[in-house]
A and B are shown apart, each in its own frame.
Chain A
Amino acid sequence: MIAKLETDGQGGPTVRLFNGPPRPIEVSEEVPLEIHDLTVAYHKKPVLWGIDLSVPKGKLVGIVGPNGAGKSTLIKAVMGLVSLSSGWIKIFGLPYKTSRTRVGYVPQRESVDWDFPVNVMDVVLMGRYGHLGLIQRPTRADRDIARESLEKVKMLPFANRQIANLSGGQQQRVFLARALAQESDLYFMDEPFAGVDAATETAIVTLMQELKDRGKTLLVVHHDLPTARNYFDMLLLLNMRVVAFGPTEQVFTHDLLQATYGGRLTILSEVAHEVKQRAT
């Protein structure tokens, strides 16, 4: 083995080359998410193709693209919920399987069974499970964190409410409170604005800004183009491939949006063109 990954005395990852002195890895903290040549396929049909991405720290990133563009699949790939056909994903410079616990996740609201026999507090406390050992039950401190998180999304009065008896917007806020309670550094949110009322939408935006200000990185799947422009620092235009990724003001252009939403035919022909060029 030429290079060996280990930790130094301070707990940071280091790399040792040719049995020389350990050197710290530089990429780790500043790059929360790095994806290289990621391809995901369902039944041999590619959904994501050759994704290269490096997300800087402390940014609020919107993932935008038409239906079937692979937005949710991208998040699921990072969460390890779908298997990768090729490529790799690194979170804070480490293989995604080892540092996934630094990731907070807000799934699509419909992805869970809201008749599940738990109340609001139970769901938010699930966000603390990553900080607890085997058998260990949530402590008073965990409950305090859960209560604070609920307070932030104005759901504290509902702490003992059965989750089946919540409105759509309230369900979404519970998920957000749970993500807050996870105290992660990198967040993935899958359409948090889908089917919520205006008040909840404002509350979510405020919360995302607050998280960003605390140095967290957020990637949010979003459907609505007009609001995307106002909500996010950076946009990832996705349609099976990365059409563009950059600061919102640079990426939110007619041509790039046209390329993203203009149908898959354009994208596929561009790919075919590229392949032809590479072959010659």
Chain B
Amino acid sequence: MPAPHLGAALRCPGDADVPDEREVRGPAVPLAADPDAALVVRLRDGDEAAFMSLVERHAAAMLRVASMYVPKAVAEEVVQDTWIGVLQGIARFEGRSSLKTWIFSILMNRVRTQGQRERRSVPFSALADATADQEPALPPDRFLSADHPEWPHHWARPPESWGDSPEERLLSAEVRSEIQRAIDALPPGPREVITLTDVEGWSTDEVCGLLGITPNNQRVLLHRARSKVRQALEGYFAGGVD
């Protein structure tokens, strides 16, 4: 019997929330090349340690991704629900995508379902954002005008110095929260892309697969996001709280 708080947790196989692997976008990874391959085999055999290893490897990123769309408390439920989907589907997992790509596509389906349940609009607007009018990386007044006689479009206000050893300061808790605040303040598309690419360290293929965007879109969004985060840090290091 499922534990009471799990509700209708254990559903029958074929659950519509578990995407058909053939429809999961993302890089095709031969099972042998998937870092999770050995764990897949052991998990099918009911190896608890293998399950816990997978949870350890992916749960933190799953929580971060889910937290972009739903409140933290709901995100934990979504993550738990995703693992139920993983267990239900693992027997049919053939390694057409990497296990990671498959797990996160289940997660995204769960996030969407949850968003509908709560009548929240879950944006997933990476694509719309990537094709929107592009604003420049920096405010135009940072540069000299196009008709400047000597230095057209060169710096009017060069980057502020970050001091002698910014590496250390960048690791401080205060700067870390500044970075997180800057990321949280981004529009959905750039925020999704920078979180997966720079915070979680996913490859371009993995990011594009999950968000359904092209590598070109991904770079446009990444560029916008990184420019904003650097600018926020520049403001921070310059001593202003902006």
Pair from one complex: no
B binding-site residues for A, Cβ under 8 Å: none
A binding-site residues for B, Cβ under 8 Å: none
